[in-house]
Amino acid sequence: MNGADALCDTLLAGGVDTCFANPGTSEMHFVAALDRKPRMRCVLGLFEGVVTGAADGYARMAGKPAATLLHLGPGLANGLANLHNAKRARSPVVNIVGEHATYHIEHDAPLTTDIESLARPMSDWIGRVEGADDVSRDAARAIQAAQTAPGRIATLILPADAAWTETRAPLSEVPPAAARARVSQQQVRDAAAAIRSGKRTTLMLSGVALRANALEVAGRIAKATGVRLLAQQSNARMERGAGRVEVERVPYPVDQALAALKDIEQLILVGAKAPVAFFAYPGKPSVMTPANCSIMRLAQPADDLLHALQWLAEELDVGPGVRPDVPELQRPALAVGALTPAAVATALAALMPENAIVCDESVTSGRNLFQFTRTVPHHDYLQLTGGAIGEGLPMATGAAIACPQRKVISLEADGSGMYTLQALWTQAREALDVVTVVFANRSYAILRGELRGVGAGEPGVNASRMLDLDQPALQWTKLAAGMGVEAVRATTAEEFSRALKAALSRKGPFLIEAVL
């Protein structure tokens, strides 16, 4: 076998059986090796941002890494924005980046770049294969690095001659992922003492602390002690819905965040980051907690967050008999009249199927989605974590591949959707069960708000031309049709509800352009 075969076999042995790819010449021997490995699912993305975003969505739902296949430094560079989002989500990803043959690099061919420097900001681990005999060992190390809690980005650089050269080196085994570290007794005692002090205390959760089992424990603690539960503003995955402990997020707008946190005297972090403003604003603070608020950490993101909460409950004498407050199943009536973001959210709450996966990059239009979906059936909620737009459509693509039996609902802003429109083509090719809702407000609406937020006033002619998506207006039904996805346009609440009901009743990709 050659180095490319060794790479494929090592990936498969390490549990990496899905490869999101946009290959080029230097990766052709790896492509040929994939032909010989039918266990590997190969998914083509027409842009590297689709590839890396899909790997992120896949990892969030599968709980394991996929591989990406990227063409040299420029291909990696095209995918960096969604690798940034994946890193912020703490998603495990194994990037395979092709490189020129080792003896060809010195000739400075047009695509020659410093791949390590491009990879470094978004990678937790970087390795460069020296020769065919090293491929399996280095691939095993990449998988091990990606699987290290809480999830990491590993980038393996594969020279073309290392891929095509024959090797007799034995395949390397991938060690099982190490168990998450447990917090110390002192950390638990300190958190318990803070809660017992009587001060207004909030447990801020993120990561796997937002899964249903951990939320149940946190809910029992809140019920017994009166502490408040809160999630950080951006989270990779939340398990929500009727019967599950409800947790609000820190609001995005600074003034709302300051108001939501103004009474906190103690903040205890459980896999979360202390809240700060997304951006700096003149005359407004960067830190969202009050100046007199003490902040302590119960658990790091890589720690065993469930065990930390369970131990804290034991320390506080909160037994399993304490029943947390949970919302009951309740569906709203469908909205009528004008199509507004609230009408869209109401329809989603009224019609969302059990066990759906909601991938949210609706940005401004979907900001109040939570208030409408507290009492709907169980669902997973995935959101943009790193702030780099263009994640939504690829994330939904990866989530659908990870969970083919579940309906994926992709909520997409029209501006950010244009960054990675090509993901619709992958959804069509793979026949993925994704319903995409495009909030078509014909503008970068969030930036209009940000212009006011930074004190720069209202947009004039030049500013409007940089913030509006009209002249010509985007036509999402035609864009979707060009990618092979059936689509309809809705201009009223009634039209949207009918379209959503029809889309949810069938399999395969479908897009609704919600004209706001």
pLDDT tens digits, one per residue of 221-279: 999 999 999 999 999 999 999 999 999 999 999 999 999 999 999 999 999 999 999 99
Give me the pLDDT at residue 113, please.
97
Q: Please, how many CA atoms are within 13 Å of residue 502, restricted to the half-sphere of its CB?
A: 14
Give me the pLDDT at residue 170, please.
96
Task: Render each residue's pLDDT in the chain as its tens digit; 516 residues.
Answer: 999 999 999 999 999 999 999 999 999 999 999 999 999 999 999 999 999 999 999 999 999 999 999 999 999 999 999 999 999 999 999 999 999 999 999 999 999 999 999 999 999 999 999 999 999 999 999 999 999 999 999 999 999 999 999 999 999 999 999 999 999 999 999 999 999 999 999 999 999 999 999 999 999 999 999 999 999 999 999 999 999 999 999 999 999 999 999 999 999 999 999 999 999 999 999 999 999 999 999 999 999 999 999 999 999 999 999 999 999 999 999 999 999 999 999 999 999 999 999 999 998 888 888 899 999 999 999 999 999 999 999 999 999 999 999 999 999 999 999 999 999 999 999 999 999 999 998 877 777 778 788 888 888 888 888 888 888 989 999 999 999 999 999 999 999 999 999 999 999 999 999 999
Q: Could you give the CA distance from residue 318 to residue 392 in angstroms, rounded to a whole number?
A: 39
Q: Could you give the CA distance from residue 508 to residue 486 in angstroms, rounded to a whole number?
A: 9
Neighbours of 25 (CB within 10 A): 11
Pick from 70, 30, 29: nearest CA to 47: 70
Q: Is residue 378 classed as helix, strand or coil in its secondary structure? A: coil
Give me the pLDDT at residue 463, please.
84
Token digits of residue 442: 């014909």
Sign of CA dihedral 76, 82, 85, 89: negative
* All structural domains of the chain: 3-164 (3.40.50.970), 185-315 (3.40.50.1220), 341-515 (3.40.50.970)
Q: Which residues pair with 229 in a beta bridge?
A: 203
Pick from 43, 101, 88, 92: nearest CA to 69: 43
Pick from 179, 177, 171, 178: nearest CA to 12: 171
Q: Could you give the CA distance from residue 423 to residue 430 in angstroms, rounded to a whole number?
A: 11
**pLDDT tens digit sequence for 187-220:** 999 999 999 999 999 999 999 999 999 999 999 9
276: buried, middle or exposed (CB in 10 Å: 19+, 13-18, 0-12)? middle
Neighbours of 407 (CB within 10 A): 20
Q: Global pTM?
A: 0.96
Token digits of residue 311: 């131990």
Give me the pLDDT at residue 340, please.
95
Give me the pLDDT at residue 442, please.
80
Q: Could you give the CA distance from residue 403 to residue 396 in angstroms, rounded to a whole number?
A: 10
Q: How many residues does the chain have?
A: 516
Q: Which residues pair with 202 in a beta bridge?
A: 228, 267
Write the DSSP symbol of residue 2.
B
Q: Could you give the CA distance from residue 195 to residue 198 in angstroms, rounded to a whole number?
A: 6
**pLDDT tens digit sequence for 407-437:** 999 999 999 999 999 999 999 999 999 999 9
User: Which segments of 148-247 does DSSP mark as H helices, in order?
Assistant: 160-164, 185-196, 212-225
Sign of CA dihedral 473, 479, 482, 485: negative
Q: Are 294 and 265 in contact (CB under 8 A)?
A: yes
